Chains A and B, each alone.
Chain A
């Protein structure tokens, strides 16, 4: 049966088993919405208040499920509004398919109403993008998009479809397979390199795993835990690497980097073998590259060859799927030296340098997080926005399962939290989702509270309000003579009252003795709820390594 392009889009989504579609209508995509109305059974259409929110929501959905987040928007402003969301997903390797409407092909290039060159604009922030100019290419392009988004190193793919293509008709046939000579992601690590790395482990005295986001992306968390327990090798983790949880709890040391723990950073600086798994060695992890892990031989496993040797020289590069490499290492069943002395050394360092804060009269964000952690169920999904609270969450909310710590790591996108929380809840409706946001980031996308209400999603939100853009203020405090330029948010609205108006249960907290009760209510609420917490204004995040400084210079005050 011949079908219109618009119907083909819907049928392709069904073939890909898309259950949730983050979509916002507009002129040129009316035909797709029309087909969704008639034939969109099985697809939940979630309409954000802004396309950026929809894209972050799709991202949150993808981060917790591992399935691609799917977005449908109109041409021009609809498409350009997705760009921040796409860039956020791209740098964190999140699979996403973004379908944008485009003006009819004969209008392309004429500056038509709501025309934007979105394939041009999104070029540097997509894994692949496609302008479909022929109805015959539509289904194959969508197949290509879904395949590329999830395979190899995942990422967002944009498909731009002009209106006349949506209205043209052809026989619908969804390709079974996608096969392209130029696209062959590496799956298996080179056996020689895999063996060589294992050999180095048997010779090491103080080996350390650096766990990155690639572990959860490749679905290898369990394997990584097994690998650690089997050989007794301890691990530190990056912001994207939350979730490792070996049976021997002593092996999980802590986080590293700019706001890493003293002991985590110390471990890196004192290991003799660094086993880096699925990390891109970002500048937030490395600090000064020259003095990073000075005594260590470095093994680097990543599925993307371009990450190897990009930011730091490595001794044993392994390009391949982490799952395969870890399987080989576990299967090899090698005799390893006893690393327990090294682990004890790290544990002692940990005991001597705990994360601390001085809770006074004003509420501290760290205190709120510690309490929330106690009161929420263990299998909680934490979603952060960006800034100081994100780093405290990184320190105080170490999660013990994969895909449970959702945060904009690479791009550092303020406004990510609330919409990503929506996507996380839609992806994992049976788990508690707690969004942590600062007063700055919250106000960038707070209109999505309306979406939470409309979709009846029991998302829990804590807004930590210090009346500042806290992280920038901290830098101004430490490096710019306390000249608080452009960071004062002294006219914040009452967010609790705002939530009430939007139909969301809320409470405003100013006193320390209100915190516990309110958090308990938040944790137990069966509907969405927001806590507006007025916190200490000038608390700084420590430990901290200044930008570009050595991890040896991890400051605690």
Chain B
């Protein structure tokens, strides 16, 4: 069925940590015609792995993805992440050149930016720096957009991890 309103949804998939299970999950999502925005996976306990996938989909397709995921034998549980009630974090490393002596840029400005965004400088050499940022995708995107493009050498991002919060006491 034609996709109508596309928006980003996050799904948390608990699987048995078997060889090939990540490729089974990813291949299913892509072959059913969904765009993967972000993916992260790590062993969580014993023989289980949690995969967090963000996809662009409409509500109806989202339901279909969940049902299809359940058909993979090693998928134990599929939990949609509630957008109004979630915690989302991503970690990024941004490698930048030393700005001193370059026009329209200064290291001080870079450091202030890192400070404002609550980041850290985890590597500093005369050639340049590596900044570490954590936060939502939006926060990391805007941090990157504020650094002069000609200073950026390399960016590495983890993709998001997300979890539903405990229900609040008054609801």
Interface of A with B (CB < 8 Å)? 119-120, 123-124, 127-128, 131, 133, 148, 180-183, 289, 304-306, 308-311
Contact = CB atoms under 8 A, between A and B. Distances in A.
Contacts of A306: 64, 67-68, 70-71
Contacts of A289: 1
A308 B63 CA distance: 10
B16 interface: yes
B73 A128 contact: yes
Contact of B27 (A123, A128, A148, A310): A123
24 contacts: A120-B23, A123-B23, A123-B27, A124-B28, A124-B31, A127-B71, A127-B73, A128-B73, A131-B20, A133-B19, A148-B73, A180-B73, A181-B76, A182-B15, A183-B73, A304-B71, A306-B64, A306-B71, A308-B67, A309-B60, A309-B63, A309-B64, A310-B64, A311-B1
A496 B149 CA distance: 74
A131 B19 contact: yes
A128 B20 CA distance: 11
Nearest to A124: B31
A444 B166 CA distance: 60
B16 A119 contact: no
A310 B60 CA distance: 9
A305 B71 CA distance: 9
Interface in B27-47: 27-28, 31
Interface of B: 1, 15-16, 19-20, 23-24, 27-28, 31, 60, 63-64, 67-68, 70-71, 73-76
Contacts of A180: 73
A310 B20 CA distance: 26
B73 A182 contact: yes
Given A127-B71, A309-B60, 14 more contacts: A119-B20, A120-B23, A123-B24, A124-B28, A128-B73, A182-B73, A182-B74, A182-B75, A182-B76, A304-B71, A305-B67, A306-B64, A306-B67, A310-B64
Nearest to B71: A306
A404 to B, nearest CB: 29
A306 B24 CA distance: 17
A100 B15 CA distance: 26
Contacts of B15: 182
Contacts of B74: 182
A182 B70 CA distance: 8
Contacts of A305: 67, 70
Nearest to B77: A182
A124 B19 CA distance: 16
A21 to B, nearest CB: 24
Nearest to B27: A123
A225 B70 CA distance: 33
